[in-house]
Structure 1
């Protein structure tokens, strides 16, 4: 899995903390990716990320999403559980942050429109 962090470099620390907390390997990609709902938030100064599987891996099974090959058999329960663990860990990390720490996530952003 990879977190697209929309040119908010401070989100990398949250991603790393969540990965450690969940015990699940997780990378992050800094460049702005405009092809997602999270991009609308990022463009308006709200630190946002998108958690994706198979990013930059053309051989990944996720290449079948929204295609004829998008069938339940390609899903692995363990991967869904890992995604859930990481998502919950990210929420936990964010909930433990102070308002000042959350506000600081905007620092250094280079996202268009920020």
Structure 2
């Protein structure tokens, strides 16, 4: 298994996409390591329901409103299972001091 990078850290990458076993990766600059493309550039997903933005499994992010059915949202990485047992996707605008997640069931 390769090197694990911490969330919210900056990584210098070579912007060309490399395909390994059917999955796309970026090469880390000056290293023989690769990072999944979806973790850096994200995946566009369309909402099937109106969706609130959450900080954690029980708390909505204050002052952010909500996204509406049919809107497209950029998600990063795989879904996360919170302590309430539900899955959430990290969405655009998420930083270490501004957490932003939407429930996975709200997407197609």
Instruction: State TM-score, norm by structure 2.
Output: 0.24
With a CA cutoff of 8 Å and minimum separation of 6, indicate the structure with the bigger relative contact order: 1
Give the number of the structure whose residues are more often strand, by fraction.
2
Give the number of the structure whose residues are more often helix, by fraction.
1
